[in-house]
């Protein structure tokens, strides 16, 4: 008698069940990593803005750098003062309007707030906001 080689229906169903359980566990874990990676773009750009504010402070002094407080980075005047072109802060998930110089200390250290907007940052929760603090911490608001 000839035996057929292959998998039975039950064996295939068990494999599909195991794969679906693994996918059900892995997808939420990976989604958190993806969101974190998207926010790392914002963190890097906020650090660039912060460095530009420090350089501006070193060149122009505390009085001039204090005028940058509460300025959004989509303002062409602010971009010009800090040496940015209109596309320097345009990334895959964030645009210049998402970055705001919240405050500038007397030593030129800026606090930068980044707020996601769904139209600009697909896949990033709308209205989520992080702040690059004066001490360098990246804190969710």
pLDDT in tens, the chain (141 residues): 677 788 899 999 999 999 999 999 988 888 878 888 888 899 999 999 999 999 999 999 988 888 999 999 988 899 999 999 988 998 888 889 899 999 999 899 999 999 887 655 556 666 788 888 988 888 888
The structure's pTM equals: 0.76
Closest C-alpha among 88, 55, 49 to residue 71: 49
Give the Cα separation of 61 and 55 in Å (integer): 10
Token pair in block for residue 59: 């060149």
Secondary structure (DSSP) of 52-118: HHHHHHHHH-HHHHHTTTTEETT-HHHHHHHT--TTTT--SS--GGGEEEEEE-TTS-EEEEEE--T
């Amino acid at each position: 008698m000839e035996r057929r080689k292959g998998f039975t229906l039950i064996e295939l169903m068990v494999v599909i069940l195991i794969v679906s359980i693994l996918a059900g566990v892995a997808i939420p874990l990976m989604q958190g990593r993806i969101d974190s990676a998207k926010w790392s773009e914002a963190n890097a750009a906020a650090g660039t803005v912060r460095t530009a504010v420090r350089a501006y402070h070193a060149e122009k002094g505390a009085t001039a750098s204090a005028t940058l407080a509460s300025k959004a980075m989509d303002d062409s005047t602010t971009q010009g003062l800090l040496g940015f072109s209109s596309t320097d802060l345009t990334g895959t998930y964030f645009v210049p309007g998402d970055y705001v110089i919240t405050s500038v200390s007397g030593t030129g250290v800026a606090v930068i707030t980044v707020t996601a907007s769904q139209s600009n940052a697909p896949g990033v929760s709308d209205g989520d906001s992080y702040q690059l603090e004066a001490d360098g911490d990246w804190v969710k608001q």
